[in-house]
Structure formats: C-alpha cells, structure tokens
Homo-oligomer: A and B are copies of this chain.
Amino acid sequence: MSAIQTNVEAASASYAASFTKGHLALPPAKKYLVLTCMDARIDPAQAFGIELGDAHVIRNAGASAVDALRSVVISQQLLGTTEVVLVKHTGCGMLTFKNEDAYQVVGKQLGQAALDELTEKKLDFLPFPELEKAVVEDVEFLRASKLVAESVVISGWVYEVETGKTRRVV
C-alpha cells in the first residue's frame, strides 16, 4: 500500500468510529448543488457552509459549467435540486495556460500516442483568461441551456485562496 492509501484507511477508520449520519436520504435535503474547482486549497463544506446531506458538490478543473453539465442535469432532473452555487477562485491553474500549451506539455511528457488520444477525443481543457468574466460566462451558459429549468436559481462567486473569503460576482 502507498502512504496515501494507508492514510485513507486510517482516516476512514477514525471517521466511521464516530459516524452518526447513516440515515441521510439520497436527494440533497436543501435541494442545491455547489459547483467548484478541484483545487487542493478549497474545502467546500467548511468554506461554503455545506452540512452533510444538504447539497451535491461537483468539482472539476476550473469549476467549468460546460464540463459539469451531465452532473448538473442528473442533480436537477433526477434528484430534485433547484439552485446552483457556482464558485471559481483566485489563483486558479486554468488562468495560466491555453489549450495549445497543454497539448504541448502532454506531447512532451507522454509522447505521440497521448497526443493522438487528445486529438482523437478533441479534448478541450477549458482554460479561461479572466476570472470574474469566466464566472459570469458560466452562469450565462447554465441560464441559456435548455437542460436547466428557467426556475433554477443560479449565483456566481469567487473564493479567495489567500483570505478564505467567498464573494459574490453575479
């Protein structure tokens, strides 16, 4: 076992020993979803005040709404959520490169077969050059999608990794 796997087992034993939430239902109790970045510096439960069982939490590189659409539709259409809290953050890695840079890095590090797989899958890494603009655009993307009901409440925020604060953008 790797040190990380050992850590998962130890943390799990400790967590399960005092676990009292086995009764929670599948659909989120407060009927909302949080969409944020995979960034290691974000703890959504603590930073955004999410109690266990209350909300779906979707995380991907950059808190991309385009990338999250499958999960958003399942959350809303099959599990009844009616509100979206979308949070991007300062210092995001997605602000630092373009698709062509990422393709170059992959080719250099993993070789031609990897580059061929990227090209075949037409993988868009979905980077963005401006943080607040990207928040607005992702909220607009969800509002414009026919797959999101017009009644869904959507807000867009920025989490500051330097201060721990979350401020509303839209």
Whether the Cβ atoms of B118 and A147 lie closer than 8 Å is yes
Cα A15 to Cα B161 with chains together (Å):
12
Contact among B4, B15, B48 for A30, CB-based, below 8 A:
B4
Prevailing SS type, chain A contact patch: mixed
Whether the Cβ atoms of A70 and B78 lie closer than 8 Å is no
**Interface membership of A169, Cβ < 8 A:** no
**In this complex, what residue of B is CB-closest to A101?**
B78
Task: Write out the residue numbers on chain B whose beta carbons fall within 8 Å of the beta carbon of A47.
Answer: 11-12, 15
Task: Write out the residue numbers on chain B whose beta carbons fall within 8 Å of the beta carbon of A165.
Answer: 12-13, 16, 19
Most buried by B among A71, A97, A109: A71
Whether the Cβ atoms of B105 and A77 lie closer than 8 Å is yes
Whether the Cβ atoms of A57 and B56 lie closer than 8 Å is no
- 8 A-B pairs, CB-CB below 8 angstroms? A4-B30, A5-B155, A9-B168, A11-B48, A29-B40, A43-B52, A106-B147, A111-B146
